Amino acid sequence: MEPHRLALPPGYRIENYEIQAVLGKGGFGITYVAFDWTLGRHMAIKELLPDSIATRIEGSTVVAMGPSHEESWQWARERFVEEARILAGFRHPNIIAVHRLIEANGTVYLVMDHLEGESYEARLRRIGREPDETSLMAVIRPLLDGLQEVHAAGLLHRDIKPENILFDKRGNPVLIDFGAARATVGATMTMTSIVTHGYSPIEQYQTKGKMGPWTDIYAAGAVMYRAITGEKPPVAADRVGTDCYVPLLSYPSLSGFSQPLLHAVDSSLAIFGEQRPRSISEWVIRFSNSQQEPARASAATIKTCDENHPDASSALCNQPANERRYSVICPHCNWSMILETDIQTSFECACCGAKFDAKPRFQNTTEWSESACGANRSDEPKPHKLPLSMANWAKLAAASLILVGLIYFGFSWALAVGNVQKRMDDSIRQQIAAKQKEAHEFEMTMKAMQFASSVAPPTAVDQKKKWVETQVSRLEALKASEMEDRQREQRYKEALLQEKAAAIAKQNEEARIRQLEADQQAQKAAERAARDMAAKKKEREQSMLVAEQKLQEAQAAWSEILTKANVQSPFVSPAGLRFASVPGTDFLVSLNLVSRSAFASFQGTKTSNNEQPAYVTYREASDFCTWLSMSEKNNFHLPTEEEWKKVVQSGIILDGGSHWIWCADALKNSAYSAGGDGKILLGETVKPAYRDKPSQDIGFRCILSPSF
């Protein structure tokens, strides 16, 4: 089989199963043959892939074809899983066994037995058709038993056909491919159905067809029709309006098959579901006893009388003279039945299977003829023939005429609805062959006449010559007609080729338009991206210009502060600290120690002593600088050792210069001071306890440096 365009490649692994080949494909999925590396055997794997709503991407993943199909795809997966679990519970010898359910690649896989036997379709092609009823029922009856269990579980197969019936190694028929199964007994289908022409009933062609066991019964009856006649029944969709189906009971010769069986098959192939048997058990009753009734009636309770009554050994002729007899006639097929009692009023015909109500009619046993028994006994009943009334004779004649008319018109319709193209081709070929044969015969006749004219008398020669000229003219006309037929056939083929070329050109044009639209969309997307990038670039440039301008403004402001801030005219911060620039540096130093009032603002308290220095711990001094930087949006910090050296060396007069102060390097347990002699005192050891509690002689100053 040719690989499916969406099929998984050979060698692909699904857990411990390795895909080897594609077994089949349909509207609901793909079936593979795979090797089970765990058990060392071949299995069949059914992959759910309805190509009308789902597709494969990235090699193996199955997704919905679009947002509009997402709900249908999700529904299909849930139903497939539910039905697979139900099927896995079946263990019937004539139903394919389901072993595992695997959810992978966004879809579901059904692991089943792999049967290597031939299909029923292959067998029928090989033998033509079943020879008799026994061989047919050996195949159909076991399948119906398994199908009845499937229906009892609320499932339908929906795709019964000879291709889905395989024979195992022992020759037992097995029903396979439950990929189209749906739990729709008593429900209405709105999803697209899978149909097989000739085997699918009319409800599967409809988007909202009411389905049930009668759906599978139609397909099973179509399989029996195919096995009995050697051909498929007409397509169900073509039977609506004017039914072209020819009943099996109307076939001239179907030896080996009983009429109850043929009638049961005809009843299963009714167009509409309500006209078919409602269940397998109801259908089987119609032909289950057909193999036991060669006379078309049960010998246990029903006896028949006709014109070809047997001789004296007949059971009817051997009945006692005083035994009462009752008769009843089927109103559908005029089948006569003799009953033992008149109590029964409801009957089922042993011939056509129809059910009807009637009152048995008493038969006078003295009317039986003695000659039918071959004996001259006055004390025994005479055999009596059940006469048909004039009304029944009229009904029988009318039914016969209607049946003949149906057969005639059925065959006429079957011939009329054939493939028109094929009939045209066959007709043209037959005409050409006939005319070629006629031309060849005329040519041979002409040659014979020319030979005869060479030895005939002059008058005969003239006559033959004239005849030959006439034949030559006819031959030329025939050749011209043959040439015209060939040209007409050639024009017909060219027209077909032109139609195909036009269809291909239309597809190519549509593909080109789709590609052009895709390119335009891609170009628009690229243009939008370019515009966005340009806008972002412009925005970044503007931001950089603004930042650079702010930096320049900050640098200019800082330069102005460095230039103007000195001891005589210091820069005063909102916290009350007076700063002066240190020559040769880019920072300012506070001339005064941080006061208690400024530190109280940091702590969120108030104090009346505004001028006294704040004697605090190192950590408190560092936290104050951080708070002051955030409050005044400047860079305040404790002086480092290098900064303090430059302050002392600059000679700036500081308030309270002899005080020890906390510096940034105080983590070394050191504090620094400017001595009265102008020398910096460095590295003096401070008691470690002073780092955690205030000292009465260690305050702190702040350094103001640029924030850029």
**Alpha carbon distance 107, 496 (integer Å):** 41
**Alpha carbon distance 176, 93 (integer Å):** 11
The CB-based long-range contact list for 661-670 (8 Å cut-off, 24+ gap) reads: 661/593, 661/698, 661/699, 661/700, 661/701, 662/618, 662/621, 662/622, 662/638, 662/698, 662/699, 662/700, 663/638, 663/639, 664/637, 664/638, 664/639, 664/640, 665/640, 665/641, 666/618, 666/638, 666/691, 667/618
The backbone torsions φ and ψ at residue 140, rounded to the nearest 5 degrees and listed phi first, read -80, -45
Q: In the chain, what is the straight-line distance between the N-terminal and C-terminal CA atoms, in Å? A: 78
The backbone torsions φ and ψ at residue 65, rounded to the nearest 5 degrees and listed phi first, read -70, -15
Q: Closest Cα to residue 374, out of 314, 303, 305?
A: 314
Q: How many CA atoms lie within 13 A of 609 on its CB side?
A: 8
159 is catalytic: yes
Contact criterion met (CB below 8 Å) for 248 and 227: no
One-letter amino acid identity for 260? P
Which two three-digit tokens encode residue 351? Answer: 């011939």
* Residue 44 burial (CB count, 10 A): 21
Can you point out the beta strands (E) in 29-183? 29-36, 41-48, 54-57, 61-64, 98-104, 107-113, 165-167, 173-175
- The CA-based angle 396-397-401, given to 5 degrees, is 115
**Alpha carbon distance 316, 303 (integer Å):** 8
CA 448 from centroid of its chain's CA atoms: 72
Contact criterion met (CB below 8 Å) for 125 and 76: no
For tokens 């190509």, name the residue.
51
Which residue among the candidates 159, 177, 266, 665 is catalytic per the annotation? 159
Catalytic residues: 159
